[in-house]
Structure 1
């Protein structure tokens, strides 16, 4: 029976010795640390959230709270904006777009089959465009090559 306590002690100490041997050679100076350019999903989601807040705040600061909003949203530049809002033909509307991130996007309105493309820089600048709605009006916002970030947009009846 005396050999049993020695065997139990050996089973408990062996893993502790192996664990110590495996971790004692680590050099903390060579371990990797997260950087500002880290590309883990949590990091990009955080940056996306900050950009979303920035574009939404800019849009809210310039839009009429009592106005008649038709449609609005916040999208990734990579997804763009593609909508056919229900607009009354012949009525006047204003679209407001703001982009934050890098590069630029193109705002493309096609009321009555006649498109008008307007560049929007992704630097937080708010861009307005007034238009008269025609049949099957369409609003498109597409990122230019290399553009990243978030887009906030709103269509109001004037």
Structure 2
């Protein structure tokens, strides 16, 4: 009789213990703040990894595409091609590896402004070149732990990029 009553209680107890032992799904959130000369110029928050969608990049972009033309000459054949380049502010943070305790990120930041265009090349095949100035860095590797705040080195004393990684389930 005692085992008939105790058996279901032990099974229920084991199930409750297993449920508590399981960890919550990975859901990492990244807070991002870009400063220029001590002033905040861009801020955002994004879930960069979760169990349902997997890894997702953080992207913020504000600017315009400036069109230009290129000329290529091979022998007597001339080819003209229309191109464009982005000018403005953009932050792209791609999660490379993310788990419940840390993330490895690839960071690219741009804060440029259009200065003008100039031509280059031989007189019978001139190409336009877009001139811009400002910050443009790509593919900076950043390792960050859950709960940690890091400053990403951008190579320009006027800019600071601050990242904070934390569990998005909280």
Calculate the TM-score normalised by the size of structure 2: 0.30
Calculate the TM-score normalised by the size of structure 1: 0.31
Higher strand share: 2
Larger radius of gyration: 1
Higher helix share: 1
